[in-house]
Structure 1
Amino acid sequence: MPLQQLRESDGPIETQLSGCGEWIEYDKLRLGSAYVDKYIKGIISVKYPSHELGTGEKVLKMALEESTSQPSTSSQASINTFIFGKLVGDCDSILKQGDTVVLTNFQVCKSPSASKDGRHAFQLELSDETGATVFVCSKTGQESAAIIRKSKVGMQDYTYVPLNMLKGGVTVNVYGVVKFFKPPYRSKGTDYCTTVTIVDPSEGKLHCVIFNGNADLLPKIYKIGDVVRFHRVKIQEFNQELQAISAPGFSALTFDGALEAPIQPRASSRTYHFTSTDQRKVEELRRWANANISVFKSATKLSEVKPAGYFDLTCQLVAKAVVDRSAVLLKVWDGTKCPHPLKQVPVDRSALEGDLGEIRGLSQLTVDVLVYDNHTGVANSLKLGTYLRIHNIHAKLVTASTEKQNESLDRGPEMEFHLHGGTSYGRGIMVLPTDCRDVQQLKQSLESALPSNQDSMEDLALMEILNSSSGPSAAQEISPDCMERCHQESATVLTAHQHISATSLKEVLDQTAPCKYRIRAKLVNYEPKALYQSVKLYCPKCRTMQEIPDDDDIDALLQDVCSADAATGSQPHDAEWYETTIWEQGGQRRRQIIVRFVKTNRLQRTPERSTILVESVSLNELYRFSEQFGSVIPTTSRTDRLILNDLSIPFLIQDGKWHYGCRQCSDPQPVSALQSLTREDSWEPSAIAKVLGIQWLHYVFVMKFTLDDGTGPLDAFLWDEAERFFGISAAEVVISEVLQEKLTRIMNTLCPPRINPEGFPWLECCLKSYYVGEGLEQKTCYQVFDTTFAGFEDI
């Protein structure tokens, strides 16, 4: 029974726990381990009221103090414990504070509240679904009869929420079909992580992020199209989209999505409930997925590989070798022969693990896969003969080096296979169990390939390298002259939509706007090449863009203003809110510069904190004033009042930044309107623009990127999110040589000058398409969004 009574009259607790395994202490618990042959013991120090999850399922929380003869003040001596499902109904009315309990078939997970409540870093989770049992030894023993009358808990049907009915902040159970996933990988912390996107007949979609300290306890998803059942996922909003994370008590079942496959669950725990209702649900999802959605990617065999493509390969490992600190070579085969000339990776014989006879016999069928960066740890741990699914292999055509070009004229470009670093596009290596349906099919392919190929010895090129005692070392053979190093981490980072599958640029160009995409391409060109020209002035009201006025134009306008001021012969004067000073300007044409100092509430008025109104100045004088004073406002006199100049002249220069107004959207007011700001002493550009009736123009980057992924080029604009992309303010880059140099280095990284575009880095970007113009003049444009440059720390 899931809940059982222990009586003191029957002797020590340990003698009543026959068949429950060994006792484990709290400090010996390990994250993610399955404790089916051990039990844990404790005294209930705190019991919380039970409550219902979003699924209608109940949960009971309690804190257990370790039951030992020696008192302890360590936080390891108290651990949070959660009981789920129908077991809550049994335990809630029976368990009391002070009772001693023994728990079996529990799971250990990370406690998110450890830093707050000071208890153990882990928490215990129990459910009737996982076959957990709770033994209780009450202080009074009065509940004995009630417990004994409890019948054995039967299987129950859980409530599942359609994906289009999900809401944030609740914990639910869901079914779905896998549309995208990443094999388990090490997160930035101590846990392993997998991400899964699922869909269902409700046309809903859900991105799930699952963590566990033990990779074996994550959902066992082998391919797109698998059916999954997730119990207890918490729905939350992330980047304006719903996302699921594993909640306490999380469990998962996975099923092959093929119609003809047996319905055999792959479970994340050793025990689970699977009813006839569940079986009907899996069958229903299989039929729907195969009939209505294109989530199934047909398996790619080596005989079907296309140049420059990316594919998933189900294969067997024949041999492996460590190439260098960040690359491992895997020799694999799937029973078919690649039709393209293959580039063999030369390695030292002593570095190669594998049976040389088998390598020789399969030389016509094996291919070399170079595994890089974060995948090398998994590759190093693989056992020979293991069945694998390698996700997102890059089939790349390479040109022979100069000294070998004559030899390869007849063969054409060679193909090499790379598993690049990172986890984009589900990239990774997964070990498949031998009872997996895909492995059974692979075995048939391997067996049928052996009779005609096992004695094939024609091509000994690889073995000549392997058996050469005088061959070069591994370090020498992986030189740039021999093999291109293929780190493929993207030079950009997506700030959202990471779970969306990539679309080729050809497909993007073929689809109608508006739409959003995730693409992977190289930046083969950009405009303008003179980067200072990429900064424009933008009016958010009329949505027009204009060039920043150049110095010659501003100087000519200021000279016109000076001439007009001299013609009017206006007299300088003081006002309630400013003091006027006249500066004589020498030279052949003597003239007066009128400077008005705005009065403030500050006790000490320093130049760098002063606001001045200047009249009858040249461009050079305006530059000098802006270097000495905090805020400079160019003005002119008309009869008895001050007004602003033509808006092609900045209405404000503050902290070295020149601020302009939109000539179309502004309604300039007399400069006397600034008097209202002296009461609050607020001189922000936005406040000054508002009282002067100026529609403030914003500095923005505007660039055109030419992107190419091999399927065709596409022009996309980068502008309203460009500051986020570069990590640089457009207004700051105009006045900072340091930021100008940084912008140049970023663009040289993304689109390196003077090298072959083949060596350009890859960019992962989000694109959105939209229409511009009307009627027959309408055309489709593209824009980069939700993307940033990845190498800020290196720039």
Structure 2
Amino acid sequence: MPVCVMGEGAGPDGQGTASLTVIPISHISTSSNHAHHSVKGTVVLKGRLVSSPSHNFILKAVLQDDTDSNTSPQDGSINVVLLGTLAKDFSQAVNQGDVVVASGFGVGKSPTALKDKLHPCNLLLSGERAFVHVCQAPPADRTSQQDVKRKRPLLPAEVPKYTYTKLDNLKPGEVVNVYGVVVFFKQPFKSRGSDFCSSLKITDQSQQKISCTIFCGKLESHPQIFQIGNIIRMHRVKVHLYNDTLTLLNTFGFSALTFDGAVGAGVEPRTASKSFHFTEEDRRAVEELRLWAASQVLLPADATLTLSAVQPKMYFDLTCQLLAKATVDTTCTLLRVWDGTRCPHALLKLTVEPNIVEGPTFSEEREKLIASVLVYDNHVQFAQQIKPGDFLRIYNLRAIPGLVKMPGLSSSQSEVNHLSFHLHGGTAYGRGIRLLPGDSPDVQELRRVMEAFQGYDEVSHPDLNDSVLWPPLSPERGASVACSTERTCDHLVEPLTLSKVKRSVPGGVHHVRVQLRSYEPRRLHQALKLYCSKCTSMQDVPDDEHLDSIFSKAAADCGPLQPCSPPTWTLSGKVYIPRELSRRPPVRTLNVHMSAQLLSEGRIKELIFLTGSTLQEACHLAAGYHNVVPMRSSGGHLALLDPPAPFLFRGRKRFYRCKQCSETSVREPTTDGVIDEKNIGEALGVQLLKFVLLMKFQLQDASDTLDVFLWRDAESFFNVSAVDAAAYQEAQDSIRQTLDSLCPPGDSSGRRPWLDVCLTEYRPTEEDTQTFYQICHTSTFKPSCTRTPPS
């Protein structure tokens, strides 16, 4: 038996390991010969036994070296992969917390080292030479599943019992769970590797202050800390001794919950984890830390100010709502924000080109309420991800009086004493931006202030948030427009109440007179879908983050192309990204391939095949050329990018293909004087996906409510095409205006217009017993007067 179990408390130095040298885990490498070495460590994680066709069984575990307190978590913990009979025996005999000695192992590079932050190598144990000697932990230190099951059944409602260590009881090398009050923090920033890094300092009733460093690949996995004084709970952090100072580092299985630090506030955990355990004891721990922190003079003064309290040259934190934004260049982004107050100083108005502004425009009077925030350097990436309507907290913002001169920006010389706000690069003093959830106490207070602002209307957010109070939009864009609906069908049926519709025979057509009670999704971009008319599949529109990874991978894999591949296309060399398109110097070139026929006709700008580009570069080129087809190199030939990447860019519009129904190839298109997405798609063997709008409405009348879908006739309902809604802000604003008129946010049903609607009743398949309803043959219009409900 390759797994040998020693008695409880016995040393794991039994037969087979006496002649071997035990080496620290940190000394393991692929370049050394470990035939006469063994490794000793504690099993801190034991995975499940998995059946494998090639090895019968496979199991993964993590060993931690506790003998060297100066070893970092990355070097002191290593993945162990066991195969075959050894994996099965290990699963039965070894428990988490046991000390083991492994010998006869092979060493390879760990494919998960960047993700799990463990040793860059892993141990592979298989075959007759591999042995594992086990010293099982005494019952006081472990509880195996077998012991638990013999004592009593494990109920689904039971949760693990966690032990929390006070900060003055930390010992180097330990993996612990802790609670603390945040006394300093930095927002996550990009590390030198592939991860984001955040740092914070916490304290507790022991008065000990401990620094913590968190490395996670995703921003949402970092603790959601909004301000000093927040409470944090961290599981599975390792105590590390560095320069004679104890610090905490996240390790495998790390998780964190954060809470508002105000006494009397709700105890709702903030976390990105899909599941977590939070008991009444945890609630008491949070409340105790709040009361203790409130009685101590340990927290610095709150740096958060409103615009009404800002003075020139101050550094402060600002809680605000993003109204609009614009990319100035690769190192600077302009944010337009407000917080429901009026700054006593004149605010500098920075003018940018209208075509690069994301968000609505405002009248001159309303501009006096809006602050211009210039975001620089490492904060630009985050600024590009946020959307108008989001609530933000900007940390260590600086108020600067005077004229701002930057490429792409213009301002009046008479505004030399006006205030602008700058978020400089770096992370010193916690500098950064944090997106606030809509249900946070800070956002609720901000909305209360906005509601109380005198002389300004209530206008709901046009894209992302429900019932957000903005400075009123200019009449030409975003103003409230009265709307109603009318039926466009010729069905000769009498109007019914919703209660009668529900009792009707399935398969009919009905006319109803109703009000729109609610709709979803509230975020308009989620209503856009891609539909294949051939296989009738429907999918979400891919986000730019996913597309950027596809483009980057294709650019990295882009190899040399044959001179004419395929024969109807010719390699026409490289071109610079035009300065006027990219708004920066042309620092790199891209491979461009053009149709031989179009090239001979002198129409080289009609159609461009592009390889080696990023998503941003493809979008820039599409702004200046009619049709851009992103490609990759496949065996020296041109091929389309993998779905869900778009196969064609036309200005701001993107076109996608159905992976299941497309049989791609690269052929000369038939132009007939016009090149559009249809004949380009046919030449490429592409089944074109159609943009559609899919929404769910809840209708109501005096008798009942009814859930209905809107998608087949959504374009005629809104009088806006889905492809335009995917590309143009104006189309999105039109849809939002219509929805706000039909269902005013926060209003009672009395102000909602009565709608004449045609409904079809159907069941998706013959086997389905549930009946669904769909809006059809109905369009919105702007009435000259308000209609009243029937008596």
TM-score, normalised by the number of residues in structure 1? 0.42
Larger radius of gyration: 1
Q: Which one has a larger percent helix, Structure 1 or Structure 2? A: 1
TM-score, normalised by the number of residues in structure 2? 0.42
